[in-house]
Amino acid sequence: MPAARPLARALSLTIACAATFGASAPGIASHTAQRALRARVGALPTAKEVVARYDRALGGIEAIHRHTSATLTGTLELRKPDGFAKIPLVVRMRAPYFQLTTGTLPNNAGEDSSGFDGANAWHLAPGAKPEVFTGNTRESIKRDADFYYAITELSWFKSIETVGIEEFEGHSCYHLHGTTNWGVSNNQFYDRATGLLVGYEFDNVWRGAPALEHMIFSHYEKIDGVLVSMTQTSKAQLKSGGDWAVAQIMTNTSVTFNNVDPSVFTPPQAVRDLLAKK
């Protein structure tokens, strides 16, 4: 199973969102500098080779396939100019495309939930109407629900290639740039030394203004034969200038495998009622 991907928007929107693989162009050095770097380090590995190495670093395809479901328990820390909020989270996943995320909102505001039931992508917040997502948003949520994404990753792209070697969050990384099947530009970075995924870079909106965001995967731990990122940090920098700032941190405190009943992915009644009208 891939390292758990964090929220790229607050829970009030949806947990499984397209912003995780956002739409920026590659933020790398000039083509001349890239060619000079390639001359020093030799030919770059293909995207297929980088992803295959990542699978091996996680524990190998056989170890990943031994698991068919997972439960991740932890917290999401949302940071704002006037303070921060910690939201307890439970994420349940099951092969091939099932996911349910539940967050307990502060001040007894209730539970925010979102999911993919194998066919439908939905979100339900306290006091709000249920949402059912279609089109490209549904496709990106399905992708995020892919339990074996680390293995099937390349199938989600029209094209993907290794475009260079770049420092990313203190790591020397292979930079992969691709276009998803629904036409979104994608940047991801894999550590040259360990083979592990370090993070994503994409365009986003932060504090109401255009920003560049880094989604960083760290603190990998081996659990039942598979490495899992226990901390995912989102950092943002306004495109108008300024320093990078931490926007949110998702921390897994517990990860267990093969313990999720399929019935948990049945959408709430309010969502089922909405689906029945479509």
Taking alpha carbons only, the member of 142, 135, 185, 141 closest to residue 160 is 185
Please report, in tens digits, the pLDDT of each residue of the chain (278 residues total).
Answer: 444 443 323 332 222 232 232 323 333 333 434 444 444 456 899 999 999 999 999 999 999 999 999 999 999 999 887 778 899 999 999 999 999 999 999 989 999 999 999 999 999 999 999 999 999 999 999 999 999 999 999 999 999 999 999 999 999 999 999 999 999 898 999 999 999 999 999 888 888 889 999 999 999 999 999 999 999 999 999 999 889 999 999 999 999 999 999 999 999 999 999 999 97
d(CA 212, CA 200): 11
d(CA 31, CA 13): 38
Structure confidence by residue, pLDDT tens digits, 145-195: 999 999 999 999 999 999 999 999 999 999 999 999 999 898 999 999 999
Q: What are the start-end ranges of the H helices in the chain? A: 31-41, 47-58, 61-65, 135-144, 149-152, 269-277
Whether the CB-CB separation of 222 and 59 falls below 8 Å is answered with yes
Domain boundaries, the chain: 18-273
CATH 2.50.20.10 fits 18-273, yes or no: yes
Whether the CB-CB separation of 239 and 209 falls below 8 Å is answered with yes
What pLDDT score was predicted for residue 123?
97
What pLDDT score was predicted for residue 42?
63
The count of other CB atoms within 10 Å of the CB of residue 128 is 11
The pTM (predicted TM-score) of the whole model is: 0.84
Q: Is the peptide bond before 96 cis (omega within 30 degrees of 0)?
A: yes
Whether the CB-CB separation of 259 and 73 falls below 8 Å is answered with no
